[in-house]
């Protein structure tokens, strides 16, 4: 995923584009939109995983400050090009990941002086980065991916999560190249032309992600960008994280509940209904290790329910938006307006909300 317009001077300002060139602005807007979505979803995933881990330790409030976020979550980025830099900025400024907990591996670390000055370690050793990180973002060119994967395959170890932003390489191929199953790869779709002007083609990614309207537009439950299979895999990745720390499944479910649902659910209070439920069949003491590639490539009860349940979509929209510090105002249904709050928020827990999970091959949300 590259910025294909970065060296085209004619695209520096829409005001200078002639009418005959207007169709190309759609391409630029979609390119910017994909970048905004990719960074937003990566930030959300890191926040969710971090908060789940810190909630388990009981050491942190769910309203985490920028100084405390990311102390226990190590993030690696392979690739120091346009998308690698944008992702690093988003994690630093919006995800709250400390600079000491972000490492970047690139063939030209000398070009990343702005990050080095902030305390980000930049070097060229992909194997070292993968062996260190909890999450590794692949931000390289598609043509470089095979060589990179062959170099890091031996260093990848559970529970490290490989998160690919190399959109040209499909998930089965990634699994084959890495000989590894804990891989997340968002699949983006541009199906709604009405949102093409939302992204702010002349602004920065960080500025766009501080706009409540943009945050709503990037929500995984919308039809503009990422498919629901990515969102499903995010929750399985969270359960894998719990499994690796040998948490009993009931404890893991409680942690997931506490992180994902607000203290006073405005959706259920207004509609006088109950929050979504999981159901759990008998299991060993802990969850099994879930194959994230299989989760994203095959249908499951979760994905089927997510596609048809407006209530579940609304709950996940609430979780997503509040994680960016955006409050959703209610008006007869789901959010109609938004306002920004002063700092990032993951909703606090409430003991009366429970998620029940059914596990045979996949987890199942039930309402």
User: Of all residues in the chain, what percent carry a pLDDT higher than 70?
Assistant: 68
State residue 123 phi and psi, 5-degree precision. -155, -175
Mean pLDDT of the chain: 77
Sequence-ordered strand ranges (E) for the chain: 75-78, 102-105, 121-123, 135-138, 161-164, 183-184, 277-278, 326-329, 337-340, 365-366
- pLDDT surpassing 50 at residue 19: no
Please give the residue that has the higher pLDDT: either 305 or 166: 166
For 36-51, the pLDDT digits (tens) are: 999 999 999 999 999 8
Query: Using alpha carbons only, what angle is made at residue 96 by residues 93 and 102, rounded to the nearest 5 degrees?
Result: 90
SS3 per-residue string spanning 100-158? HHEEEECCCHHHCHHHHHHCCEEECCHHHHHHHCCEEEECCCHHHHHHHHHHHCCCCCC
With tokens 């590894």, the residue in question is 180
Strand partners of residue 245: none
| Widest Cα–Cα separation across the chain | 65
pLDDT category, 153, cuts 50, 70, 90? Answer: very high
Structure tokens that stand for 9 in this block = 């001077």
Range with the poorest average pLDDT among 64-78, 115-129, 300-314: 64-78
Range with the poorest average pLDDT among 48-52, 141-145, 196-200: 196-200
For 203-220, the pLDDT digits (tens) are: 889 999 999 988 988 888
Q: For residue 299, how many other CB atoms are within 10 A of its CB?
A: 11
Contact 3, 168 (CB under 8 A): no
CA separation for the pair 344, 68 (Å, rounded): 12
Structure tokens that stand for 242 in this block = 């719990």
pLDDT category, 337, cuts 50, 70, 90? Answer: very low
Distance of CA 23 to CAs 157, 196, 201, 246, 279, Å? 46, 12, 14, 54, 49
pLDDT category, 339, cuts 50, 70, 90? Answer: very low
CA separation for the pair 354, 261 (Å, rounded): 9
Alpha helices in the chain (DSSP H): 22-57, 82-93, 113-118, 126-132, 142-152, 171-178, 205-208, 212-217, 228-244, 249-260, 266-271, 292-297, 301-308, 310-323
Instruction: Determine if the pTM surpasses 0.85.
Output: no
- Name the residue ranges covered by the structural domains of the chain: 231-366
Q: What is the per-residue pLDDT for 20?
A: 47
Please give the residue that has the higher pLDDT: either 168 or 76: 76
For 340-359, the pLDDT digits (tens) are: 333 333 333 333 323 334 34
Q: What is the per-residue pLDDT for 2?
A: 55
Q: What is the per-residue pLDDT for 225?
A: 57
- pLDDT surpassing 80 at residue 155: yes
Q: What is the per-residue pLDDT for 64?
A: 46
Please give the span between the terminal C-alpha atoms of the chain, in angstroms, as a whole number: 37
Find the mean pLDDT for residues 182-201.
73
Distance of CA 78 to CAs 106, 185, 300, Å? 6, 15, 31
- pLDDT surpassing 80 at residue 152: yes
Q: What is the per-residue pLDDT for 301?
A: 75
| Cβ neighbours for 204, distance < 8 A, ≥ 6 positions apart | none
Nearest to 234 by CA among 175, 314, 290: 290
Contact 317, 328 (CB under 8 A): yes
Q: What is the per-residue pLDDT for 352?
A: 31
Contact 126, 152 (CB under 8 A): yes
For 85-122, the pLDDT digits (tens) are: 999 999 999 998 999 999 999 999 999 999 999 999 99
Contact 165, 87 (CB under 8 A): yes
Query: Using alpha carbons only, what angle is made at residue 67 by residues 34 and 75, rounded to the nearest 5 degrees?
Result: 45
- DSSP annotation of 159: T
Please give the residue that has the higher pLDDT: either 25 or 321: 321
Cis (ω within 30 of 0) for the bond into 172? Answer: no
CA separation for the pair 200, 216 (Å, rounded): 14
Length of the chain: 367
For 262-277, the pLDDT digits (tens) are: 566 777 766 666 677 5
- pLDDT surpassing 70 at residue 229: yes
Alpha helices in 261-309 (DSSP H): 266-271, 292-297, 301-308
pLDDT category, 135, cuts 50, 70, 90? Answer: very high
């Amino acid at each position: 995923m590259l910025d294909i317009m970065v060296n085209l001077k004619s695209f520096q300002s829409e005001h200078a584009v002639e009418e005959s060139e207007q169709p190309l602005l759609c391409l630029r807007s979609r390119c910017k939109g994909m970048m905004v979505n990719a960074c937003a979803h990566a930030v959300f995933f890191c926040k969710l995983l971090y908060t789940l881990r810190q909630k388990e330790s009981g050491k942190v409030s769910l309203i985490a400050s920028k100084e405390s976020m990311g102390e226990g979550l190590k993030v690696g980025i392979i690739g120091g090009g346009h998308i690698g830099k944008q992702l690093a900025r988003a994690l630093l400024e919006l995800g709250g990941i400390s600079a000491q907990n972000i490492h970047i591996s690139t063939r030209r670390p000398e070009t990343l002086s702005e990050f080095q000055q902030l305390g980000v370690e930049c070097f060229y050793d992909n194997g070292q980065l993968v062996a260190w990180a909890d999450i590794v973002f692949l931000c390289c060119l598609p043509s470089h991916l095979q060589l990179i994967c062959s170099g890091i395959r031996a260093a990848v170890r559970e529970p490290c999560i490989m998160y690919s932003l190399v959109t040209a390489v499909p998930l089965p191929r990634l699994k084959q190249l890495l000989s590894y199953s804990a891989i997340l790869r968002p699949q983006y779709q541009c199906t709604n032309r009405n949102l093409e002007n939302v992204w702010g083609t002349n602004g920065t990614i960080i500025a766009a992600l501080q706009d409540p309207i943009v945050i709503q537009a990037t929500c995984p439950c919308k039809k503009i960008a990422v498919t629901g299979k990515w969102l499903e895999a995010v929750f399985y990745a969270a359960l894998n994280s719990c499994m690796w720390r040998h948490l009993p499944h009931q404890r893991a479910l409680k942690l997931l509940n506490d992180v994902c649902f607000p203290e006073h659910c405005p959706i259920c209070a207004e509609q006088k209904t109950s929050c979504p439920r999981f159901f759990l069949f008998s299991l060993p003491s802990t969850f099994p290790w879930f194959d994230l590639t299989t989760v994203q490539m095959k249908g499951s009860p979760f994905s089927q329910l997510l596609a048809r349940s407006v209530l579940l979509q609304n709950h996940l929209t609430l979780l997503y938006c509040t994680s960016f510090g955006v409050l959703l105002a209610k008006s007869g249904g789901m959010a109609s307006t938004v306002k920004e709050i002063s700092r990032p928020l993951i909703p606090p827990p409430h003991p009366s909300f429970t998620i029940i999970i059914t596990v045979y091959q996949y987890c199942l949300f039930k309402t």
